[in-house]
């Protein structure tokens, strides 16, 4: 057996344990009875400890170090490079810390659910305080150059720094914010039809249709309902999505379904023969989010997408949509307005929601604010950035699940995803002959084929910045998102683009 084969076998075993943990997490958020929370935290913690032991095994480390000095093909070299980095980082943590973090995460998630139910941040505060302390400790253990937040962000967006994210959000403030202001000053579009009653089962059936339209393989996936929609995978042949249904808001389910569909299509498109290896794993959450935002926004909120889909939706809900024209429907689903909830925000103000979370969690990690200050800081920033008053914790700082998972450094990837998506969509639209005509006909396979060829099949063989450059010809450029925003919303709101 070659050293590389030995390495692959170990990686497969590590991935098997990791996916077993993922199954328990999926069940915890979809089917587990409330009484099972205590034991589930213990079970996950036990497996997390076993996983850490395998990740830090000395024999495995020796094989990685030996392979790092051998001449390997590009993909194999990249696999070893990523695995060695992960091994070196994992070696910095003892098993006790890993178990404590895993147990805290499970307990924190349960506390968040209860706090949201009671609309009381105080229920969550002591658990989140412990989580923040552990994440600060994690950053110190990992080490960093510019900011402790970078050490945490590296888990989700490798090779990106806190400073780079700050620069992107400065562009948002300097370019996107003035444009949003101009949109706000234009006559508002009518979306009154959205708040009517829409049958739960019909919405569920519509969601399944959307998944099928876009190419999601239900033979290797399934959809369920959860409090916070998410996608999880146990390998590219078992990729599951969840959604949520609001009977007084049809589009909430539609957007969450399209969003998670984009994530799931990426996972289903990863090469199964690379299972367990970095080359069979998504490269970053920014790129992952680009797939979900692309399907939700660039495709799903486009006029041409609904030329095919809208008649079907009208037939499903004729009492609510029968007298709504396609043009009016298109404008209403692209309404731009300040809002409280990130997941239901429009494409433009969405990035204000992300900035708020980025600024708060960065401050938490550097210690400039305490966990107890979160509600007041949150409410103040929502007033400053979006001019909205936050009426409760449940609709404010308790709305997202991420901090209960310990996912500090995750939120910036949402904005990165939108920026990547705009750039990818601009390129694929020029690469695919008659692309828009295919969309009008309801044929989204050319889109999926392009993403499979340019993004999905590479896994983590290339860094996110390299993958973007290979696919589009240049590194991430905020200009593409601004061009997309101005062209689209200039049309929706009938703005004089010369002034924009």
Q: List active site positions.
A: 260
Residue listed under structure tokens 């979900």: 292
Question: How many Cβ atoms are within 10 Å of 386's Cβ, its own excluded?
Answer: 19
CA distance 138 to 101: 10
Sheet containing 221-225: which strands, arranged edge to edge?
221-225, 239-243, 231-233
DSSP bridge partners of 242:
224
CA distance 161 to 153: 8
Q: Do the beta carbons of residue 424 and residue 294 sit within 8 Å? A: yes
Sign for the CA dihedral angle at 98, 43, 402, 457 comes to positive
91 Cβ contact list (under 8 Å, min separation 6): 56, 61
* Closest by CA position to 19, among listed 40, 56, 44: 44
State both tokens at 236.
């590219």
Sign for the CA dihedral angle at 332, 335, 337, 342 comes to positive
Angstrom distances, CA of residue 83 to CA of 6, 25, 178, 381: 13, 24, 44, 40
* Closest by CA position to 156, among listed 404, 456, 410, 467: 410
């Amino acid at each position: 057996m070659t050293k590389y084969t030995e390495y692959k076998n170990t990686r497969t075993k590590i991935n098997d344990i990791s996916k077993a943990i993922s199954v328990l997490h999926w069940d915890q958020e979809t089917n587990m009875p409330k009484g099972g929370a205590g034991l589930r935290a213990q079970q996950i913690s036990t497996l997390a400890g076993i996983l850490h032991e395998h990740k830090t095994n000395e024999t495995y480390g020796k094989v990685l170090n030996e392979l790092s000095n051998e001449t390997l093909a590009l993909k194999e070299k990249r696999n070893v490079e990523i695995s060695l980095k992960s091994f070196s980082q994992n070696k910095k943590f003892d098993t006790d810390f890993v178990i404590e973090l895993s147990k805290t995460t499970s307990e924190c998630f349960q506390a968040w659910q209860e706090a949201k139910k009671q609309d009381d941040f105080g229920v969550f505060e002591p658990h989140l305080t412990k989580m923040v302390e552990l994440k600060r400790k994690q950053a110190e253990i990992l080490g960093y150059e510019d900011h402790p937040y970078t050490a945490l962000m590296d888990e989700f967006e490798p090779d990106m720094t806190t400073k780079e994210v700050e620069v992107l959000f400065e562009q948002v403030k300097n370019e996107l914010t003035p444009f949003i202001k101009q949109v706000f000053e234009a006559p508002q579009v009518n979306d009154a039809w959205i708040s009517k009653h829409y049958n739960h089962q019909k919405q569920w059936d519509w969601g399944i249709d959307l998944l099928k339209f876009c190419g999601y393989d239900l033979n290797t996936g399934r959809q369920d309902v959860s409090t916070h929609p998410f996608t999880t995978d146990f390998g590219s042949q078992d990729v599951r999505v969840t959604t949520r249904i609001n009977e007084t808001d049809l589009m909430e389910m539609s957007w969450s379904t399209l969003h998670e569909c984009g994530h799931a299509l990426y996972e289903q498109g990863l090469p199964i023969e690379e299972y367990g290896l970095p080359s069979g794993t998504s490269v970053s959450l920014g790129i992952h989010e680009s797939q979900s935002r692309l399907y939700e926004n660039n495709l799903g909120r486009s006029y041409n997408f609904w030329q095919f889909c809208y008649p079907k939706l009208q037939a499903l809900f004729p009492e609510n949509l029968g007298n709504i024209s396609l043009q009016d429907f298109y404008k209403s689903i692209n309404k731009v307005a300040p809002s409280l909830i990130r997941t239901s925000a429009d494409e433009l103000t969405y990035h204000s929601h992300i900035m708020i979370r980025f600024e708060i969690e960065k401050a938490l990690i550097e210690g400039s604010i305490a966990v107890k200050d979160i509600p007041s800081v949150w409410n103040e920033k929502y007033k400053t950035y979006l001019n909205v008053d936050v009426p409760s914790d449940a609709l404010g700082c308790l709305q997202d699940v991420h901090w209960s998972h310990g996912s500090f450094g995750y939120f910036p990837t949402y904005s990165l995803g939108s920026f990547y998506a705009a750039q990818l969509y601009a390129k694929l639209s020029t690469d695919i002959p008659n692309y828009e005509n295919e969309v009008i006909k309801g044929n989204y396979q050319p889109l999926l084929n392009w993403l499979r060829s340019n993004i999905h099949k590479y896994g983590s063989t290339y860094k996110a910045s390299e993958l973007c450059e290979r696919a589009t010809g240049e590194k991430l450029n905020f200009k593409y998102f601004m061009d997309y925003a101005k062209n689209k919303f200039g049309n929706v709101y009938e703005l004089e683009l010369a002034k924009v």
